[in-house]
Amino acid sequence: MNHRTAPPRRRAAWVAGAVAVATALAGGVAMSTSAQAAGDTLQEAAADQGRYFGTAIAGYKLQESAYETIANREFDMITAENEMKLDATEPQQGQFNFSAGDQIANWATQNGKRLRGHTLAWHSQQPGWMQNMEGSQLRQAMLNHVTEVASHYRGQIYAWDVVNEAFADGGTGARRDSNLQRTGNDWIEAAFRAARAADPNAKLCYNDYNIDNWSWAKTQAAYNLVRDFKERGVPIDCIGLQSHFNSGSPYPSNYRTTLQSFADLGVDVQITELDIEGSGQQQADTYRKVVEDCLAVSRCEGITVWGVRDSDSWRSQGTPLLFDGNGNKKEAYHAVLDALNGGTSTPDPTEDPTEDPTEDPTFPAGDCSADLRIVNSWQGGYQGEVAVTAGSSAISGWSVALSGGISVSQVWNGTLSGSTVSNVSWNGNLGAGQSTSFGFIGNGSPPSAGSLACGS
């Protein structure tokens, strides 16, 4: 597939070291060749171990110099946080928009990084037109979406999360009851076969959360899916463990067993969305354990953390990432770097970067309606989705007021300013009666579903 090359600075350092060794040997000085310089950044240290270390990127944040600097310096595998999902890439059936995804893909390429694709088929963040579909019509629409998106990014993607979160929570190990599942139990296989046909060189992964604990039924269900696919020759190359850890779903002591058990099936293992809520030494120790577990399993290819700074996280209230809201390296960062370097790194804190505020958006006039639904919820937060529908005439932009005390930490497919979300460049133009949607992560308890004020 793709071959790893050393980052330029590390290559230069290696050349300089080689010259120094040659000079010393010429002078009759005995030197050990077993020592290896510690990596100064996450990507350098991971590369020295034959791994990658990645992050999820929100395209609109790349304009922030502090955010972009950290992302470029520390990470070598990039995942689009929301920009390649279904609602972003096919907002209207058969009308694809890749501008947001291409922005991230182009940034990754220009900076010498590899790209994970996320995600091709999922029960959540479906565009409104797909949410209302069932049966054979939905199956064909799903396969067309997989084909079109994977074909567009053919040759650019290291690995795709082909199917995301297809198993239900709880102790049954059953499939999630979704509109995709109701098209037939073979829908996952069909999606993987379509993805392979569209991009033969990308690795194909099944991705899910709460499949970290080897004893859980959901983990066993995912394991059995992968085993069945391998036995029957269904194309699958990797398993993605999201690994969102908190007090309700803590890091399990058998995590390494889980990684190794999947690897023993003959697939690569990728930790795809890692975040660990907490702070201080306890958080650092857990991050260290995850890294050590990955390094202990030869087919664990790398780790992606789900965001750059705590303030960028979908669970920002839990401060779950490696950099604080000001971009400072946390104890967890140093624990990760130390683990990647085999316990030989030295802390080197960075200066506090500053962030540039964004300007408030402006909106044209028109008529629209907005309907809120709650997609998922957990202790201290929830995921909301808002469908925006044009009225009796076409509109060229919209804005929705998040009223009723809604507190938002993250928005996708929209631009947040204060308590108002407006369209992004590609989903503002709606014909009469047409719909689009945006999603957000809310803080606290979820509000009741219902209508929100919409203007355009």
Inter-CA distances, 243 with 211, 252, 270, 382, 433, Å? 8, 10, 10, 18, 40
Show the CA angle centred on residue 317, arms to residues 377 and 315, nearest 5°.
Answer: 50
Closest CA to 119 of 242, 11, 302: 242
Given 64, 273, 331, 385, the catalytic residue: 273
Q: Is 224 helix (H, G, I), strand (E, B) or coil?
A: helix
In the block, residue with structure tokens 């005995």: 30
Write the DSSP assignment of 349-376 as a string of letters.
PPP----PPPPPP-----BEEEEEEEEE
Torsion of CA 313, 218, 448, 182, to 10 degrees: 120
Write the CB contacts of 357 (distance below 8 Å, at least 6 apart in sequence).
none
What is the token pair recorded at 214? 């080897």
Give SS3 for 21: helix
Adjacency order of strands within the sheet including 368-378? 407-412, 435-443, 381-390, 368-378, 450-452
What does R_g of the chain's alpha carbons equal in angstroms? 23
Q: Is 273 a catalytic residue?
A: yes
Which helix (H) or strand (E) element contains residue 118? strand 114-122
Spatial distance between the Cα atoms of 241 and 269, rounded to a whole number of angstroms: 8
Tokens 């979406």, located at residue: 145
Q: Which residues are designated catalytic?
A: 273
